[in-house]
Structure 1
Amino acid sequence: MAGPNSPWGNGGGNDGGSNGGGDSSGEPGAEGAEPSPDRAPDRKGPRNPWLPSGEGAPPRRSASIEDIFRGRGEQRRTGGGGPRGPGGFPNFPQRPDGKSWLPLGIGVAVLVVLGFSSVHMLGPKEQGVVTTLGQYSRTVDSGVNLTLPWPIEQIDVVDVSSFTVDMIPDNENEKLMLTSDKSLVDLSYLVRWNIKDLKNYTFRLADPKETVREVAEAAMRASIAQVSLGQALSGAGRAQVEQDVRERMQRILDFYQSGVAVQGVEIKKADPPAKTKGAFDNVNVAQQEAERDRSEARAWAQQVIARAQGDASSFDKVYAEYKLAPEVTKRRMYYETMERVLRDNDTVVGEKGVNTVLPLPEMQRRAAPSPDASVSAPTSTGGQ
C-alpha cells in the first residue's frame, strides 16, 4: 500500500513494502518493524507526519501495542517521568556549580533548630531552671539567656512573681472543723502564694500545688482548734485565725524547703453546719435581744444616776444656806414642801379630826381667765 507517493513510505521504490513481506528496511508501514536511528527519511519524498522532525530527534517509538503498555508499566513503577536518583528517589535541584542543594538545606535546618533551642527570652516575671542531661545546672533570670542546644541542656520557664490563689474547698461541699469548745464550724477560705525559690519548688516537691493545699488545710484545722465557736464566727476572731494560719503554713513549708512564700490567708465563709443552722439562728436572735435589753438598762441607770447626782448637788446648796440661817431656811423648806404636797389635793385635814373638803380645783378653774375674755375678773374664796 505504501508506494512512492504514500505518506507512510520513505520515498523508496521497493514494492515489497506494500505486500508486508519480510523486508526489514525500517518502513513504519511494515508490520513489526522498528525505525532505524541511522537512517534519515528521504528528503525528496513526502514527509511522514508520525516521524519526529529535525536532525538529532529521538527515533520514533514502536507501534507495537505490547511495547506501548510495557513502557507505561515501567513509568508507573518509577513514579513518574522525572529524573530519578539511586534507589528510585527523586533528584534534588542542583546549584549553579553542579552540586546538590540537599547538604545546604540540612545545614540550615540544623542551625534553625540550634537557634531555637539555645536562645531563650524570659519575661520580667519569669525565671528558668536549666538542666544538663537531666541534672540541675543553674537558674536564669528574665531577659535573653543562652544555653547549650537540645538535648544537652533544657530550660523550664516558670512565672515566679504572680500570685496563685487556691480556694479551699474548691466546690460547694462543707468543710467542717472542730473548735476548742467541741463545736463544728463550716469554713471556706482562700490562700495566696507565689514562688520564692524556683530550684526548691521544682525539685523538692513532687506536686507543689497539692502540697500547698494540704499544708493550708492542716494549718487551718490546727488554728481553729485553739479558738471557740464565737471567736471563729466573729470578725475579730477571724483576723487572728488568718494571721495564725499564714505563719503556721510558712513554718511548715520552710521546713520542707518547698520554695513557696505564703502571701495571705482570707476566710470567706464561717457558718455553723447546715443541719444546726436553724438553732444557731435562734440563739443569735436571743443574744441580740439580750444585748438590746442590756443597752436599755444601762441607759436607764445612767439617767437615774444623773438625777440623783443633781438632787445631791441641790441638797448641798440648801445645806450651805441652812447653816447660815437655820430658822429661815427651815420655814422656807416647810412652805415649799406643803405647797408641793397640797397642790393637787382636794382634802384638807383640820384639827379635831374634821375633814373639810374644799372645792379648790373648781374655784381655781373658775378663777382662771377665759381664752375669749379680754378682761378677767378676780374671784374670792372663803373657808372655815
Structure 2
Amino acid sequence: MEDRNYQININPDWIRKYLSKILIGVVLLIGLFSSIRTVGPEEEGVVIQLGEYNRTVQPGLNFMLPFGIERMYKIPVQRQLKQEFGFRTTRAGRESEYTKSGYGDESMMLTGDLNLTDVEWVVQYRITDSYKFLFKVRNAEKTLRDMSESVMRKVVGDRTVNEVLTVGRQEVASSVEVRLQEMCDEYENGIRIDQVVLQDVNPPEPVKPSFNAVNQAQQERETLINQAEAEYNRVIPRARGEAEETIQLAEAFALNRVNRAKGEAERFNSLYSEYVKAPEVTKQRIYLETMESILPKIGNKIIVDEKGNNVLPLLNIDKVKTPQQ
C-alpha cells in the first residue's frame, strides 16, 4: 500500500473573518437576552441605571439596556407576604409542618409582672411602594423583622402574664398591628401591615404544668360563677315576679273591698232616703225582697198565722220553678 500525505491549507484571513462574525453574533445574543426582562403579574420591575433609580415598569415583557448598564429588581407588590417569629414553616400544605428549634430567643419575652412567656406570632404585610421599599430603608425586610420583635416585646411588657395567655391575646395583636404600621409610616419603607396573628402563646416549658393547673382552676372558678349567675337569673326574677303578682292581687282585693263597701254604703244611704220618705212601704218591700232570697234556700216550709192556729197548705217552693224564676 502506498502512503499518502494530505496537507490542508487554511487561509488565516478566512478564519479571522468567520471568527469575528461568530463573536459578533455571540455578543448580539448576549445583549439580546440581557435586554429582555419579563415581569410577573403580581410584580413591579424597578430599573436601576448605572446604580441610580431610573423607572418602574409594569407586568409584562420589558426591554432595558444590556451588558449590565441597567438592572431590574422584581418586587411582589400584589402578593401578601409574611414573617414568622418563634417558629418556621418547614413544609406548607394541607398538613403544614413547623419547627421551633433555634428560634426561642425570638419568642421568649418578659411580661409586666416579671413572668416569662413564649409568644409565637405572624406578621402579614404587602409592599405598596416598590421605590420606598428599595431605597428608603436598607434591607427593608430585616428592618421590618426587627421592628416587629421590638413592638411585640413592648406590648407584652405592658401586660400581665394572665392577660397575654388568656383574655388579652386579641388586644395584644391589635396593638402590635397599629404600632407597627405607625413605625412603617415613620420609616417610609413602603410596607402596609395587613394583620398580626398570635399563633401560640404558652408559658415556658419548665413551668407549663403549674400554669396549666392555675388556668384550669380559673376556668373552673369562672364556670361556677357562671352557673351561680344563671341560677340567680333564673330564681330571682321569678321571685320578684311572684312578689309583684302577690302585691297586685292584694291591691286588687283591697280595691274590690273598698269599692264594695262604698257601694253598700251608697245602697244603704239610698235605701234610707226612700225609707224616710215612706217607712211602711219601704219596710214591706225590704221584707218581701228578703223573704224572696231566703225561702228558696231552705227545705220544707210550713206557714202559720201569728198565733199558730191556722196552718196554710205546704208550699213546695223548691220543686215548683217557672222559667221566669
- What interval of TM-score do these two structures reach, taking the shorter chain for normalisation? 0.5 to 0.7
1:108 maps to 2:25: yes
- Listed as ranges, the matches of 1:216-227 within 5 Å are 216-227=148-159
**What is residue 301 of structure 2 aligned with on the other side?**
none
Deviation at 1:134, TM superposition (A): 2.2
Distance 2:46 2:24 in 1: 29
Tell whether the 8 Å contact from 1:179 to 1:225 is kept in structure 2 after alignment.
yes
Q: For residues 204 and 317 of structure 1, what CA distance do their matches in structure 2 show?
A: 81
Map of 2:188 onto structure 1: 257
Supply the RMSD in Å over aligned alpha carbons. 3.1
Q: Kindly tell me: are residues 167 and 322 of structure 1, through their superposed partners in 2, closer, same or farther at Cα, counting changes over 3 Å?
A: same
Q: How far off is 1:117 after superposition?
A: 2.0
Are 1:211 and 2:128 an aligned pair?
Answer: no
Q: Residues 279 and 82 (structure 1 numbering): CA distance in 2 closer, same or farther, change over 3 Å?
A: same
Q: Which residue of 2 aligns with 1:370?
A: none
Contact 1:83 1:91 in 2 (8 A): no
Structure 1 partner of 2:266: none
- Are 1:163 and 2:89 an aligned pair? no
Q: 1:240 aligns with which of 171, 187, 196?
A: 171
Number of residue pairs matched? 242
Q: Which residue of 2 aligns with 1:275?
A: 206
Moved over 4 A (4+): 322-326
**SS where residue 149 of structure 1 aligns?**
coil
* Alpha-carbon shift at residue 267 of structure 1 (Å): 0.3
- The residue that corresponds to 2:295 in the other structure is none
Query: 1 CA distance for matches of 2:183 and 2:250?
Result: 75
Name stretches of at least 5 consecutive residues in structure 2 with no aligned partner. 88-98, 259-325
Match of 1:314 among 236, 242, 246: 246
| Distance of 1:131 and 1:210 partners within structure 2 | 22
| Corresponding residue of 1:37 | none
Which of 55, 58, 61 is equivalent to 1:141? Answer: 58
- Give the structure with the larger helix fraction: 2
Q: Does 1:185 align with 2:102?
A: no
Deviation at 1:315, TM superposition (A): 5.5
Gaps of 5+ in 1: 1-48, 51-59, 62-70, 72-79, 93-98, 327-384
The 5 A counterparts of 1:329-344 are none
Shift of residue 323, structure 1, vs aligned partner: 6.9
Structure 2: how far apart are the matches of 1:274 and 1:300? 39
Tell whether the 8 Å contact from 1:133 to 1:153 is kept in structure 2 after alignment.
yes
Q: State the Cα deviation string for residues 96-126 of structure 1 (Å, max 9, x = none).
A: xxx9433433332232222222232222212
1:284 aligned to 215, 226, 233, which one? 215
| Match in the other structure for 1:31 | none
- Aligned equivalents of 1:315, 1:103: Cα separation in 2: 117
Q: Output the amino acid matched with 1:102.
A: L
Identity %: 28
In 2, the alpha carbon distance for the partners of 1:139 and 1:259 equals 14
TM-score by length of 2: 0.64
Comparing 105-114 with 237-246, which one deviates more in the overlay?
105-114
- Shift of the 119–324 alpha-carbon distance from structure 1 to 2, 3 Å rule, reads closer
Matches within 5 A, 1:1-384: 82-86=8-12, 92=15, 100-170=17-87, 171-172=99-100, 173-174=103-104, 175-234=107-166, 237-301=168-232, 302-303=234-235, 306-307=238-239, 309-311=241-243, 313-314=245-246, 316-318=248-250, 320-321=252-253
Using the alignment, how far apart are the partners of 1:322 and 1:194 within structure 2? 77
Q: Give 1:182 shift.
A: 3.2
